[in-house]
Structure 1
Amino acid sequence: MEPVFSGQPIEGNAISLRYACKQDLDEYFAYLQDEETTRLTGSQQHFTREGTAVWLQKISAVNAEERVDYMIIEKSSGKLIGEVVLNEIDTVNRSANIRIGIRGSGNRGKGYGTEAMRLMLRVGFEDLKLHRIHLGVYAFNPRAVHVYEKIGFRREGVQRDVLFDNGQYHDMILMAMLEQDYEAVRGGAGRPE
């Protein structure tokens, strides 16, 4: 399971995916400060500029044995609007976790997240030869659940009261896609619309 990554961007219709670089610091730090993004992803961490610079340096190195991090770039503006990540890569069981974040309400609802997920599923199933890709999404984010189901993820269960935020507990919906699910929807999941 030794993929060959060229380091070249992955081109979609409206977005491209590329590795992080140190020039991303300002935009990536702003992304990490976006309140709606941190709420939807359940992040409760405080990010400093210095810590963000160190993290960017770490994820800019290609290391598909552990994780694959891509920045989501809107093609028309060239702006960094989010990230999509395969992490927790398990080469023995051929599985990984996927996560995505899109910065700002102005970038949501435009299909960027759907396109980024489809491109990253292609990386996971075709390049990394994974068998299973899973994710967790909070129950208060039904729009994301709808998108994940639309591109072929299936619900597997619920972790009850997994996140305490704003004075209340929230459930996490567990979802996954297997390689045969990917193949069944490959015309949509494997290629951008």
Structure 2
Amino acid sequence: MKTGDDIMGKHSGLLTGERVYLRPLNGEDAEVYYHMFFGEETRRLTGTQKHINKEQISAYIDRKAGDDSGVLLLIALKENDEVIGDIAIQDMDRGNRTANLRLAIGEERHQNRGYGREALLLMLEYGFGILNLHRIELEVYTFNSRAEHVYESVGFVREGVRRQTLFYNHEYHDVVMMSMLEQEYRERYVQQRSK
């Protein structure tokens, strides 16, 4: 079992929910990260078209470690420390207090079990509470209705559709743009806790 010190990062401490926790990546995570996102369905849901090797994954992890425009964390199960996905706040604009969020659960056996929702709520708390963001936005492909439903259920508002943004498997797909504002988050989650 990892201790709190083992999973502390420069951007975040231990973000812990009921069943998952979020932790920074380290060099030893390249292998698991590579296999987690190699599956065909995960690649489709994330719109990943490029094939990448383990060396490129290691270089990506190293780049992210020194990147102060975002926070990339792995999603791990509390019961056994198994890494099941990742979540990121990225492209932070500190002047306007905005950022983009992305989330991926790697294997199908971990999808549709509420882990992504729990990780999302942990990251929203971190983004609005610690990073002091005003707006967090995301994009989801229209064929990923399950993810769109999760985002709406936690309070993201649909803002529009960018038509035929992704060319994947010989056809074009639209992407839905969604966002949540600081006040919407606080009204929904912070004020509920104080009651």
Match of 2:26 among 21, 33, 45: 21
Taking the aligned partners of 1:33 and 1:141, their CA distance within structure 2 comes to 18
**TM-score, L = length of structure 2:** 0.89
Structure 1 residues 168 and 6, CA gap change in structure 2 (3 angstroms): closer
User: What residue ranges of structure 2 are gaps of 5+ in the alignment?
Assistant: 1-8
- 2:65 match: 60
Q: Alignment RMSD, CA only? A: 1.9
Determine if contact 2:11/2:71 at 8 Å carries over to the other structure. Answer: no
Alpha-carbon offset, residue 36 of structure 1: 1.2
- 2:35 match: 30
Q: Kindly indicate whether structure 1 or structure 2 has the higher relative contact order, using CA contacts under 8 Å at least 6 residues apart.
A: 1
- 2:167 match: 164
- Output aligned runs, 1:111-122, within 5 Å: 111-122=114-125
Determine if contact 1:152/1:181 at 8 Å carries over to the other structure. Answer: yes
Taking the aligned partners of 1:23 and 1:171, their CA distance within structure 2 comes to 36
Taking the aligned partners of 1:189 and 1:48, their CA distance within structure 2 comes to 45
**TM-score, L = length of structure 1:** 0.90
User: What residue ranges of structure 1 are gaps of 5+ in the alignment?
Assistant: none
Deviations 1:70-128 (A, max 9, x none): 01011112111110000010011100000001011100011110001000001110001
Taking the aligned partners of 2:48 and 2:131, their CA distance within structure 1 comes to 27
- 1:80 match: 83
Alpha-carbon offset, residue 31 of structure 1: 1.5
Work out the percentage of aligned pairs sharing the same amino acid.
Answer: 39
Query: Segments of 4+ in structure 1 off by > 4 A?
Result: 4-7, 187-190
Alpha-carbon offset, residue 57 of structure 1: 2.0
- 2:147 match: 144
Deviations 1:114-149 (A, max 9, x none): 001000001110001111000000000111111000
Alpha-carbon offset, residue 152 of structure 1: 0.4
- 1:126 match: 129
Determine if contact 1:159/1:174 at 8 Å carries over to the other structure. Answer: yes
Determine if contact 1:32/1:47 at 8 Å carries over to the other structure. Answer: no
Q: How many residues align?
A: 185
